Amino acid sequence: MPAPGALRAVLAFPSTYSVGITSLGFQMVWATMAQRPDLDVRRLFTDGGDPHHRHIDLFGLSLSWELDGPVLLDLLEDRRIPLWSHDRGDDDPLVFGGGPVLTANPEPLAPFFDVVLLGDGEELLPEFLDAAVATAGQPRAQRLRRLARIDGVYVPSLHQPRYDAEGLLTAVEPVDGDGPATVSKRTWRGGTLTQSAVITPEAAWPSIHMVEVVRSCPELCRFCLASYLTLPFRTPSLDDSLIPAVQRGLAVTDRLGLLGASVTQHPQFAELLQWLDGPAGDGVRLSVSSVRAATVTPELTRILARRGSRSLTIAIESGSERLRQVVNKKLSGEAITAAATQARAGGLSGLKLYGMVGLPSETDDDIEATAALLLDLRRHAPGLRLSLGVSTFVPKAHTPFQWEGVRPEAEGRLQRLGKRLKPKGIELRPESYGWSLVQALLSRGDRRLAPLIVAVRGRHGSLGAWKQALRQLRAAAAGDPTAPPPWDAIVHERWTPGQVLPWSHLHGPLPEATLIAHREASLSPAA
């Protein structure tokens, strides 16, 4: 129970309750805040939430997806909080945020946040909350300077972007000599990862207990934010962490989800499966997030089928062996075929594959190779239901492909895959090319996009509204280097390694020189 005088906090998620409550990151932040007697925290979703506070001291947002970012403005308006951080006074709440999107590149949304938490929250969040409570009642500017001294805490108002006469970003600098020139992502190196704090039938995955089996991925596909941003690869102990976490959930539900970018690469995953195949797993409905195709074994598919799974999910990125080498996908065509045949032999009824179009150096031949691979899988595993989820490559900060742009030919290649696969009875689930462009705008943009996000609030679900608002803003500020850049300059343009990026002052796990070396290693053979 909150103690008398506890700070009144709101933790928001920019989607519905059923979606937000399945986010382990959101659950971890909420549980951390809810266990503190010095906080009275209420949850907020786009379709409702806990009873309102009449006054708010802290307003937090957990953000996992770029396209959800503009929802922040709707949530702030709903609570009558000034949108721009510079318009808030001492009586307004501190607005803070975290999650992979904000850790990668918070700059398009930076003018709306007082504080951004970069990286893992296990240690960072309690330290931030301690300081926020300790400084309650102090002038806003004084509180922000105190918070900025915490490793991993980024206070955007203490940094100022600089542009040259042509509008090229030249630096993001401290506003004075007191602030840090750079802020580094915080990394949790403890022996535990996250698990469900809430199990509810109202979740998008009803009544499921989720356990994070691994964090990051050792494969380092060159486009992958989940690999690069979350390094190093971390694997909690089976006996000390994973089995106790599973047992806590199975005490209240029979649904278990094992999560991570590459769960089957946990060094003790086979032992965990064997444990779940025994009496401890009786009656359990088990699901596993995307697995590396080369790790699929008859034992894995048999146990998954026995424990209620109907399908397996693997990411192939492309059916082209050449292109998989370009993106560092250490996966052979034979391993993909073996995964399909083993899925069928083990009793699973479906195989979900994920791929991309528009990857750097991709050609039409690579698209044909993807179609050919899917048709070949159908021949090798007759009766297995195949589906291909395919997205357009979007460059992400802190990855080797952050300098690449979205390729316009990707739209036609999505359509080409549909024409090749749908008549053959293979389900194609393409992501919208148009929304991939908006996603790239938000993943690569800087603070000059903030007025655009304000301009489309209430209309951010319309693709046309984004382009119309950008044209209007650029026309109104013609010749001003602080005007939003042209659409193509952010979305499609290939940037030069070494130029100042919107997130250059925010350090991820690997230095820029390493990312450049990885990029060159990937693209040089295909040049």
DSSP state of 74: H
Domain check: are 240 and 163 in the same one?
A: no
In a domain, 131, yes or no: yes
Q: What is the pLDDT of residues 107-157, one digit of tens each?
A: 999 999 999 999 999 999 999 999 999 999 999 999 999 999 999 999 999
Domain check: are 223 and 153 in the same one?
A: no
Structure pTM? 0.96
Q: Identify the three-state secondary structure at position 19.
A: helix
* CA–CA gap between residue 471 and residue 486 (Å, rounded): 8
Instruction: Report whether pLDDT(219) > 60.
Output: yes
Give residue for tokens 């390694």.
Answer: 497
In a domain, 311, yes or no: yes
In a domain, 482, yes or no: no
Instruction: Report whether pLDDT(526) > 80.
Output: no
Instruction: Report whether pLDDT(524) > 90.
Output: no
pLDDT band, very low/low/confident/very high, at 479 (cuts 50, 70, 90):
confident
In a domain, 179, yes or no: no
What number is the average pLDDT over the span 205-234?
A: 96
Instruction: Report whether pLDDT(367) > 80.
Output: yes
Domain check: are 221 and 166 in the same one?
A: no
Final residue belonging to a domain, choices 173, 198, 230: 173
* CA–CA gap between residue 102 and residue 158 (Å, rounded): 17
pLDDT (0 to 100) of residue 382? 95
Q: What is the pLDDT of residues 54-88, one digit of tens each?
A: 999 999 999 999 999 999 999 999 999 999 999 99
Instruction: Answer yes or no: are the C-beta atoms of 340 and 380 closer than 8 Å.
Output: yes
pLDDT above 70 covers what percent of the chain? 99
Domain check: are 297 and 408 in the same one?
A: yes
pLDDT (0 to 100) of residue 155? 97
Non-local CB neighbours of 113 within 8 Å, separated by 6+ positions: 85, 95, 96, 97, 102, 106, 156
Domain check: are 261 and 115 in the same one?
A: no
Domain that holds residue 148: 7-173
Domain check: are 99 and 223 in the same one?
A: no
In a domain, 516, yes or no: no
Domain check: are 34 and 157 in the same one?
A: yes
In a domain, 279, yes or no: yes
* Helices H / strands E in the chain, number of each: 19, 18
Domain check: are 112 and 252 in the same one?
A: no
* 328: CATH: 3.20.20.70
Instruction: Report whether pLDDT(392) > 60.
Output: yes
| Average model confidence (pLDDT) across the chain | 95
pLDDT (0 to 100) of residue 419? 96
Q: Is the dihedral of CA 160, 510, 167, 471 positive or negative?
A: negative
Q: Work out how many domains the chain is built from and give that number.
A: 2
pLDDT (0 to 100) of residue 525? 58
Domain check: are 168 and 294 in the same one?
A: no
pLDDT above 90 covers what percent of the chain? 94
* 55: CATH: 3.40.50.2300
In a domain, 33, yes or no: yes
Domain check: are 222 and 339 in the same one?
A: yes
- Long-range residue pairs from 232-241, CB within 8 A, at least 24 positions apart, any chain: 232/187, 232/509, 233/265, 234/188, 234/189, 234/193, 235/266, 235/267, 235/268, 236/191, 236/192, 236/193, 237/191, 237/268, 238/268, 238/271, 238/272, 238/275, 240/191, 241/191, 241/192, 241/193
Final residue belonging to a domain, choices 441, 457, 477: 441
Domain check: are 259 and 359 in the same one?
A: yes
pLDDT (0 to 100) of residue 179? 75
Find, among 65, 164, 147, the residue nearest to 113 by Cα.
147
Final residue belonging to a domain, choices 405, 425, 441: 441
Domain check: are 142 and 215 in the same one?
A: no
Cα Rg of the chain (Å, integer): 23
Instruction: Report whether pLDDT(339) > 60.
Output: yes
pLDDT (0 to 100) of residue 527? 42
